[in-house]
């Protein structure tokens, strides 16, 4: 019998440096896509690395295909910039659906029901129509690839960040693992948009870790829209998509799976993948049997990745708290509404993107420095676009101004963000 040991010592290895860049964005979800494009448009030399073969992360592969929301719940748009540009690009291809501007803030029952059926109105009554957008995930992936190519961001797929090399308080390289073995990329500044704060952890910056119930969204087609049994999709607790006869089913294991998982633990992920896929198939069978309009419906796709709402969150220079709702910040770099609440916003300060010690790391997307309750709002896709855009512009400006990101003049950053099309409150 071969003896087993608890650990193994790896031999020292010389790792090839496959690229050198000003700004390295790790993770090609909403925040990463936005950060890379924003930094490139400021003139920086940008590499974007993604572990899978598509962009969008949860917003495409996770089938979370609802932008909730670009407004403050009172009819005013508070997320614009690259998120708005995404909507424009999707719309040009007929790949999205949203209430026209004249309807935002409207509280008529007819409109509310119409948009609830699309998954565009949430929270508790009294409701108002939101500026929220439903879209097709394949259109997102296509548009994102074209956008990145057009902007000349260097995109590297199929590489998984697994470590960092540090020189004091600076990251000099990020190490990636792939079928080609280990490779390193040298950079001036790194933006962690992995969703899970992987680089935050590799660089030993403090974080909080939340265990969550996993979700697995799926879609079915072949639903009989002309069926006499009322709104069959609503009965199935699903939403109409941009295509006829199709439903998005935001199925969560929360009610059925027996435990929360740590989404940075591969054993937990393995357990959840198997359980959730089994449970989704049970649900597909149940819908076919119990809802007449679903009799001939079929599963078109389950999400490629589990729906993980939360894992690591940076504990950075500022931790945005629930009490900060509607509070103005001098260093505001993005604003988000709340998808379940009306007429309120969080201003996101620059300090929520900055780690305490490492000087050339920024964080954007769902792992920024906020508390668990604020995360409910800042994790939403439009907010991830907005923090990604801010991190991209900030890192490029810091470089061209020859200062550390933490020493960047935030008035200059706000001016550049506005010029790039982002929305910020007047006083900032």
Contacts with ligand FAD by CB under 6 A lie at 26-32, 49-52, 57-59, 64, 66-68, 160-161, 193-196, 198, 215, 307-309, 365-366, 379-381, 384
Residue whose CB is less far from ligand FAD, 332 or 377: 377
Residue whose CB is less far from ligand FAD, 67 or 422: 67
Q: Are 352 and 334 in contact (CB under 8 A)?
A: no
Least Å distance, CB 288 to ligand FAD, is: 23
Least Å distance, CB 191 to ligand FAD, is: 11
Residue whose CB is less far from ligand FAD, 68 or 261: 68
Residue whose CB is less far from ligand FAD, 293 or 311: 311
Q: What are the start-end ranges of the H helices in 259-380?
A: 266-290, 372-378
Token pair in block for residue 163? 């470590």
Residue with CB nearest ligand FAD? 29
Least Å distance, CB 145 to ligand FAD, is: 13
Q: What distance lies between CA 341 and its chain's CA centroid? A: 20
Least Å distance, CB 197 to ligand FAD, is: 9
Least Å distance, CB 275 to ligand FAD, is: 15
Least Å distance, CB 202 to ligand FAD, is: 9
Separation CA 3–CA 6 (nearest Å): 10
Q: Quick one: DSSP state of residue 269?
A: H
Residue whose CB is less far from ligand FAD, 165 or 404: 165
Query: Among 144, 39, 48, 46, which residue's Cα sits nearest to residue 87?
Result: 144
Find where tokens 């439009």 sit. 382
Least Å distance, CB 304 to ligand FAD, is: 9
Do strands 154-156 and 46-49 pair parallel, antiparallel, or not at all (unpaired)?
A: parallel
Find where tokens 């099309």 sit. 421
Phi and psi of 35, rounded to 5°? -60, -45
Residue whose CB is less far from ligand FAD, 202 or 318: 202
Separation CA 15–CA 190 (nearest Å): 19
Question: Helix, strand or coil for residue 172?
Answer: strand
Question: Helix, strand or coil for residue 409?
Answer: coil
Q: Count CA atoms within 13 Å of residue 416 on its CB side.
A: 24
Token pair in block for residue 108? 């008529």
Residue whose CB is less far from ligand FAD, 252 or 421: 252
242: exposed, middle or buried (C-beta count within 10 Å: 0-12, 13-18, 19+)?
middle
């Amino acid at each position: 019998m071969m003896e087993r040991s608890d650990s193994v010592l790896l031999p020292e290895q010389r790792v090839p440096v496959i690229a050198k860049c000003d700004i390295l964005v790790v993770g090609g979800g909403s925040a990463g896509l936005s950060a890379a494009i924003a930094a490139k448009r400021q003139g920086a030399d940008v590499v974007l690395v993604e572990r899978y073969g598509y962009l969008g992360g949860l917003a495409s592969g996770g089938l979370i295909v609802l932008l909730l929301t670009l407004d403050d719940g009172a009819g005013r748009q508070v997320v614009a910039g690259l998120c708005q540009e995404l909507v424009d690009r999707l719309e040009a291809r007929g790949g999205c659906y949203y209430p026209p501007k004249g309807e935002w803030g409207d509280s008529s029952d007819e409109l509310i029901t119409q948009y609830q059926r699309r998954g565009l109105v949430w929270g508790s009554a009294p409701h108002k129509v939101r500026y929220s957008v439903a879209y097709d995930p394949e259109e997102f992936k296509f548009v994102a690839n074209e956008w990145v190519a057009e902007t000349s961001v260097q995109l590297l797929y199929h590489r998984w960040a697994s470590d960092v090399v540090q020189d004091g308080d600076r990251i000099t390289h990020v190490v990636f693992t792939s079928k080609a073995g280990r490779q390193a990329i040298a950079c001036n500044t790194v933006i962690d948009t992995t969703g899970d704060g992987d680089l935050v952890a590799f660089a030993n910056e403090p974080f909080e870790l939340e265990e969550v119930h996993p979700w697995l969204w799926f879609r079915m087609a072949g639903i009989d829209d002309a069926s006499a049994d009322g709104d069959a999709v609503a009965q199935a607790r699903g939403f109409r998509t941009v295509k006829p006869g199709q439903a998005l089913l935001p199925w969560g294991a929360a009610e059925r799976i027996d435990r929360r998982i740590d989404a940075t633990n591969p054993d937990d992920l393995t357990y959840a993948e198997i359980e959730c896929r089994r449970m989704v198939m049970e649900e597909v069978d149940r819908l076919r049997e119990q809802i007449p309009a679903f009799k001939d419906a079929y599963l078109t796709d389950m999400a490629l990745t589990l729906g993980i709402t939360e894992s690591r969150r940076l504990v950075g220079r500022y931790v945005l708290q629930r009490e900060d709702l509607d509070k103005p910040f001098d260093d505001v770099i993005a604003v988000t509404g709340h998808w379940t609440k009306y007429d309120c916003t969080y201003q996101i300060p620059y300090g929520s993107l900055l780690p305490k010690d490492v000087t050339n790391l920024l964080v954007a997307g769902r792992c920024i420095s906020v508390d668990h309750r604020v995360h409910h709002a800042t994790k939403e896709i439009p907010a991830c676009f907005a923090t990604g855009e801010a991190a991209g512009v900030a890192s490029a400006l810091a470089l061209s101004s020859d200062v550390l990101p933490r020493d960047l003049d935030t008035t200059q950053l706000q001016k550049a963000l506005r010029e790039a099309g982002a929305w910020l409150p007047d006083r900032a």
